[in-house]
Amino acid sequence: WRSVRQSIINRSTMELEFVALELTSTKVEWLRNFLANIHLGMKPTPLVSIHCDN
């Protein structure tokens, strides 16, 4: 175990949820582009639903 300084300081839990959604959507977009470029035989790249509790 080790301690790590946080790279983002959030003022509220709502702001934290927005940051998490933004990071997730960036990774999903990268993954969709990757799958579209390697041509696995899937017609369109499937849509991804991201759920948030609020």
pLDDT tens, 16-40?
A: 888 889 999 999 999 888 888 887 7
16 or 45, greater pLDDT: 16
In a domain, 5, yes or no: no
Task: Domain of residue 17: give its range.
Answer: 12-49
**Residue 26 counted as domain residue:** yes
What is the pLDDT at residue 15? 83
Residues 6+ apart with CB under 8 A from 28: 48, 50
The answer to whether residue 33 is domain-embedded is yes
In a domain, 28, yes or no: yes
* Counted domains in the chain: 1
The answer to whether residue 32 sits within a structural domain is yes
At residue 2, the 3 state secondary structure works out as coil
Q: Reply yes or no on whether the pLDDT at 51 is more than 70.
A: yes
Q: Is the pTM of this model over 0.85?
A: no
The pLDDT value recorded for residue 30 is 93
> What gap in Å lies between CA 33 and CA 27, rounded to an integer?
10
